[in-house]
A and B are shown apart, each in its own frame.
Chain A
Amino acid sequence: MTAAPRTVAPATVRTTPADAVTPAPGRPTRPRPGRRLLRLVSPIVLLAVWEAAAQTGLLPPEKLPAPSAVLQTGWRLTAEGTLAVHLLDSLQRAAIGLALGGGLALLLGAVAGLLRIGDDLVDPPVQMARMLPHLGLVPLLIIWVGIGEELKITLVALGSFFPIYFNTYAGIRDIDERLVEAARTCGLGQLARLRHVVLPGALPSLFLGLRLAIGAAWLSLVVGEQVNAQTGIGFLMMEAREFAQTDVVLLGLLVYALLGLLSDLLLRFAERRTLSWRRGLKAT
């Protein structure tokens, strides 16, 4: 009697995940509204406990101030204009570093991906350099470029170089050779093939590279701005630490987190608009 359910069990276990996948393959199913609310409960409870603990003095404010205090500080610094100044400086560093590192990575990745000689000459040194944790290069970089703006920008550029290089390279290599061939029979020359086949074919990979690069850029900035900066979110945090303004330190962390979230959202929006052809692909 006990044997019967046991033999049935594996079959039912196997069918359930398959059923779950069928509605929309490749697209994560969105949790239902009820579940989404449920998932909000524990973060809110944590925040409330933190707030209560800080208000009652259980948490000393110099160790961890209340969330409301952090928000108040944020409001004060925004109203003073201080936050905007530091934020703009940080953004500028990120943008310049990303443009330099990403631009070079795009160029070298394309050369290595498109040309055999480029692959032979460019790829080996890049593969070796990848093994170095770029944040570990800070001491060497200080010797090379000093402790000024150059250091921050170099760090961001280094951090964003590798994800973009590797994804450009892989994106080009993964293009279906048969599509390139079909384009040739349609009379497309080398440049036209680059524009109509290679670039759009590599675009999903390029977006992935850019997303990873932006993450790496923020990370590099966090480290870089703690070395002798006069402005920037990192400087704001380091200065606050010296005066034991824990609320400002927390605010800096919050800003970094929001920057990461915002850039990711923007990029995902751009990706959805540019790669709309993939939606049709996933639906079939």
Chain B
Amino acid sequence: MATRPQGDLSPVLTADGVRRSFGATVVLDGVELAIAPGEVVALLGGSGSGKSTLLRILAGLDPDASGTVRRPLHQAVVFQEHRLLPWKRVLDNVSLGLTGPDVRARARAALAEVGLPDRDTAWPAELSGGQAQRVAVARALVREPELLLLDEPFGALDALTRLRMQQLFIRLREQHGFAALLVTHDVDEALLLADRTLVLEGGRLVEDAPVPLAHPRTPDDPAFGTLRRHLLERLGVAA
């Protein structure tokens, strides 16, 4: 059902026939998905539609799902909550599980990239919600992922912080060129950030549409409004 990505680049991630049920409830009923290198895909769906379940399967966190998923060697996940280890200082959280030379220098560079170069010795509990989420982004970024999986990463932030984080995401993506799957319930966010939108409904991807808008995008663009109305209708919200 998913379109093949354009060009002959082989996708960074493919999923075939992904199924998952909890007891008698079938949440995912054969999801097919391919993400091209550098492509940002937004996954939309009502609450309880299985968006997060799909992301967890793609992240390799759900051993009870069936179907095949081919993942890239380097991928990273940003969750809705920052999920920093409270007993490790910010820098140690960013460099958690990193191997190779200059681990600390690389972690410092990632912190600088998210705009927190001087919070390296802070405890996670001393950070604001937005700062903690930035550190979580740095923790993902420092792994130099080919694919970034984001589960409503800005959903728990206040409106202003969310806008700033979206700007940060655009900038980081331009610099690093990673592909991303962005789970969100926010149609505006999807249209601002994604190259392609997917809608999950009844356990299947029922819509797969490109976002043909030039960057920088703004919600007051008329074309943006058209796409927005269409997506909202698809999600069952009458505009």
Contacts and interface: CB of A to CB of B under 8 A. Distances in A.
Contacts of A196: 85, 88, 96-97
A141 interface: no
B187 interface: no
A186 interface: yes
A237 B97 CA distance: 56
Given A186-B96, A187-B97, A277-B123, A178 B79 contact: yes
A182 B83 contact: yes
Main secondary structure of the interface of B (DSSP, over half): loop
Contacts of B123: 277, 280-281
Given A185-B61, A186-B96, A200-B85, A280 B79 contact: no
A277 B125 contact: yes
A185 B76 contact: yes
Contacts of A183: 85, 96-97
Given A186-B139, A188-B96, A201 B83 contact: no
A277 B125 CA distance: 8
A121 interface: no
A241 interface: no
B126 A178 contact: no
Interface residues of B, number: 21
A284 B97 contact: no
Main secondary structure of the interface of A (DSSP, over half): helix
A206 B81 CA distance: 27
A197 B86 CA distance: 10
A271 interface: no
A192 B97 CA distance: 8
Interface string A164-195: 00000000000000110111111110001000
With most chain A CB atoms within 10 A of its CB, the pick from B59, B76, B77, B86 is B86
B22 interface: no
Nearest to A274: B87
Contact of A281 (B61, B76, B77, B86): B86
B83 A280 contact: no
A131 B97 CA distance: 43
Interface string B49-92: 00000000001110000000000000011010101111110000
A181 B61 contact: yes
B87 A277 contact: yes
A33 to B, nearest CB: 30
A197 B96 CA distance: 11
Given A280-B123, A281-B123, A179 B97 contact: no
Nearest to A181: B61
B101 to A, nearest CB: 17
Contacts of B83: 178-179, 181-182
Contacts of B86: 277-278, 281
Interface of A: 178-179, 181-188, 192, 196-197, 200-201, 203, 275, 277-278, 280-281, 283-284
Given A203-B87, A281-B86, 9 more contacts: A178-B83, A179-B85, A182-B77, A182-B84, A182-B85, A184-B60, A186-B139, A197-B85, A283-B125
Interface of B: 59-61, 76-77, 79, 81, 83-88, 96-97, 122-123, 125-126, 139, 143
